[in-house]
Structure 1
Amino acid sequence: MLYMHDLWVNWFEGEENGYNICRFHEWRKEDGIELIDQIPLVLVDDELFDFIENDLQDLPLSLLQDIHRRTYMKKNQERITVEYAAVVTNGKDVIVFDTLGYTLPVKKSRLIPRQERLVFEMVEGKKPESFKIESSSLKEHHILSLEPGRMSGLTRRERQLKQLLMMALDQLKHSDHPEEVRYWLTEWDPAQYPSIKQMTNEDAWAHLYEGTINGWGVHHEDLCEKLIKGQPFFETIWQGEHSDVSTHHLNSQN
């Protein structure tokens, strides 16, 4: 088995979509960067790589057995054994996972560029190991888990705010005040006001969703800010993305 040493990781927990596991250039100062002392490296096929990167289901039992207690973290000069963790690659991309003792990839991270290049060098010319995905349910994208294409080209901040907007729209759909939907659609697209008055609440919500689902811009941000006003949980997320954030650079490691 191949092993990597002294690996910097930036864990994203409970993420089922690869676009939320941020690349190194989007790491922030306040992210909790950790150091892994030793971790196995596994070359897998494209199917399993995509399954690990873009889902949150049980990993193949044979993979878990292979990597069991082979990872060590360093915390306060102490070497801690990790139950199930590994670096996986399909030869084109890389991801690290830690199951936190469960059987699914609860925490995931990207690598810094230098260590990513090392992964590709280590697996060059080798064949992927074969692991059978035991059973999995077909993943479905929805308003709270958008298709990757809907997030393509957006920055970390834009993705976070777009998810916040979708959460607010989902809440609006199930609101006790359905007449609000037409109000917000008018805010989004005032030119449609004459036809909006004739719409059912369901049609108005569908128009609002279809209008906001693609891309991200000032108009999206303006709607999002107004929609979440007075909702402490949403406002906390909003403020977190508007605080002074800067990229965390590990220049010596790059």
Structure 2
Amino acid sequence: MLYMHDLWVNWFEGEENGYSVCQFHEWRKEDGIELVDQIPLLLIDDHLFHFIENDLQELPKSLLEDIYRRTYMKKNQERTTIDYAAVVTNGKAVLVFDTLGYSLPVKKSRLIPRQERLVFDMVEGKRPSYYEIDNPVPKEYHILSLSPENMAGLTRRERQLKQLLMMALDQLRHSDHPEEVGYWLTEWDPSQYEFIKELTTESSWQQLYYGTLEGWSKQHEELCGKLIKGQPFFETMWQSENQTDSKHIKSQN
């Protein structure tokens, strides 16, 4: 088995979509970067790699057995053993995961560029290990888990705010004040006011959802900021993204 040493990781916990596991250039100073002392490296096929990267389902038992207690973390000069963690690659992309003792890839991280290149060098010319996925459930995208196409080209901040907007729209759809939907659709597209007056609540909501689904713009941001006003949980998320120091972590290269 191949092993890597002294890896810097930036864990994103509970993320089922790969676009939420940020690449190194999007890491922030306030992220909790950790040092992995030793971790196994697995070359796997494309299907399994994308399954791990873009889902939170049970990992193959044989894979878990192969990596059991082979990872060591270092913190304050103390070395601790991790039950199930590994670096995986399909030869084109790289991901690190830690199951926190479960059988799901609960925590995921990318690598810094220098260590990513090392991964590709280490697996060059080797054959992928094959692990069979037990009873996989087909992946479904929805308003609270948008497809990669709907997040393509967005920055970390824009992705976070777009997820916040979708949470607010989902809440709006199930609110006790359906008349608000038409109001917010008019805010989004005031030129359609006369047309909007004739729409049902559900049709208005569909127009608003599909209208905001593509891309991210100043118009998206303004709608999001207005929609979440007066809702402490959403406002905290909004403030967190807007107060974040955008400076990147100094390059580890």
Normalised by the shorter chain, which TM-score bucket?
Answer: over 0.9
**1:78 maps onto 2:89 in alignment:** no
| Whole-angstrom distance in 1 between the partners of 2:145 and 2:191 | 30
Counterpart AA for 1:204? S
Aligned to 1:200: 200
Q: Which residue of 1 aligns with 2:219?
A: 219
Partner SS state of residue 4, structure 2: strand
TM-score (norm 1): 0.99
- Tell whether the 8 Å contact from 1:25 to 1:247 is kept in structure 2 after alignment: no
Counterpart in the other structure of 1:120: 120
Distance 1:158 1:250 in 2: 22
CA offsets per residue over residues 60-84 of structure 1, 9 Å max, x none?
A: 0000000000000001111100000
Match for residue 170 of structure 2?
170
Quote the Cα distance in structure 2 between the aligned partners of 1:71 and 1:10.
16
Deviation, 1:249, is 2.5
Q: Distance in 1 between matches of 2:66 and 2:244?
A: 43
Output the amino acid matched with 1:70: R
Matching residue of 1:190: 190
- How far residue 207 of structure 1 moved from its aligned partner, in angstroms, is 0.3
- Show the counterpart of 1:28: 28
The separation in 2 between residues aligned to 1:118 and 1:234, in whole angstroms, is: 40
**TM-score in terms of structure 2 length:** 0.99
For residues 194-232 of structure 1, the C-alpha deviation after alignment (integer angstroms, 9 at most, x for no partner) is 011110000000000011000000000000000000000
The correspondence of residues 20-169 of structure 1 with structure 2, limited to 5 A, is 20-169=20-169
Aligned partners of 2:134, 2:192: CA distance in 1, in Å?
Answer: 50
Following TM superposition, by how much is the alpha carbon of 1:250 offset from its aligned partner in structure 2, in angstroms?
4.0
The one-letter code of the counterpart of 1:124 is E
Q: In structure 2, give the amino acid aligned to 1:135.
A: N
For structure 1, the residue ranges without an aligned partner over 5 or more in a row are none
* Separation in 2, partners of 1:83, 1:161: 34
Conserved 8 A contact 1:21-1:108: yes
Consecutive unaligned residues of structure 2, counting only runs of 5 or more, are none
**4+ aligned runs moved over 6 Å, structure 1:** none
Deviation at 1:135, TM superposition (A): 1.2
Distance 2:185 2:51 in 1: 37
One-letter identity of the residue aligned with 2:148: P
In the TM superposition, what is the alpha-carbon distance from 1:246 to its structure 2 partner?
A: 2.7
Q: 1:247 to 1:24 in 2, by over 3 A?
A: farther
State the alpha-carbon separation in 2 of the partners of residues 220 and 134 from structure 1: 40
Query: Which amino acid letter does the alignment assign opposite residue 161 of structure 2?
Result: L
Deviation track 1:159-210 (CA, whole Å, cap 9, x = no partner) reads 0000000000000000000000000000000010001111000000000001
Q: Which residue of 2 aligns with 1:245?
A: 245
Q: What residue identity is the alignment partner of 1:38?
A: Q
Aligned residues: 253
Structure-2 separation of matches of 1:247 and 1:52? 29
**Residue equivalent to 1:235:** 235
Q: C-alpha root-mean-square deviation of aligned residues, in Å?
A: 0.7
Letter in 1 for 2:230: G
